[in-house]
Amino acid sequence: METLSTSKWNEYREYTLDRFDSTGVDYDPYWHVWIEDVLHPELFEFVNMEWPDFESGEWKWAYSKNAIDQNQNRKIYQPNRANGLQFWKEYYDNMIDNEYIISAAYRLEGMHTEPDSVTASLWEDYKGYCVGNHVDHYTIDLAWQTYVYCDAGEDWGTRMNDSNGNQLKRFPFKSNCAWLMRVDANSWHSCDPVESNVRRSIMARFMTDQRG
């Protein structure tokens, strides 16, 4: 595709900033935010059109899997690669690791010191992917997952749990919707073994050096 203009990226970012600013924090069962239609409709079309072909020989060198001790039914692409897919590098720079986006996330009630660094991944999950009940690593301050596509419907979103793994709430896996979760001692969550053939999402993590 052709490079999107700066004005287009500004338009798309302003849309998402407005979605952040018009959404409040929910404390049931712990700190989280749910945002409908998080990306401008045009941008979401590009996200689907430009989604990496994880079977493509040309780009297989750029894809990875989970760590060996984690479920292997997931393929990963890091969008901030300077020598990678152009659209996704621009997306990362304009929609994730961007001062205005970071500022909007940290204007949410209960957020304070902005992150020391930002990471992001495109996740493509396959049938059988799952992750047990856990709290994210203490170096993650805020996690932001945007749901892109799931061929098995809305039932395969992240579960919010208590420390014993009992489900308290579940995010519906709805396209172009997103959740944000502040990482603290209560933010237990998991993913059931998915029955979808393909499930796609974008994960951004705002990292901190202030703990530990």
| Tens-level pLDDT at each residue, the chain (212 residues) | 768 999 999 999 999 999 999 999 999 999 999 999 999 999 999 999 999 998 876 666 667 777 777 888 899 999 999 889 999 999 999 999 999 999 999 999 999 899 999 999 999 999 999 999 999 999 999 999 999 999 999 999 999 999 999 999 999 999 999 999 999 999 999 999 999 999 999 999 999 998 75
Enumerate the domain spans of the chain: 6-207
Sheet holding 189-191, edge to edge: 131-134, 189-191, 159-161, 167-170
pLDDT of residue 6: 97
End-to-end CA distance of the chain: 43
Cα 14 to Cα 106: distance, rounded to the nearest angstrom: 16
Take residue 185 and report the two structure tokens written for it: 């001692």
Q: Output the pLDDT for position 24.
A: 95
Q: Which CATH number fits domain 6-207: 1.10.1200.10, 3.30.450.20, 1.20.120.160, 2.60.120.620?
A: 2.60.120.620
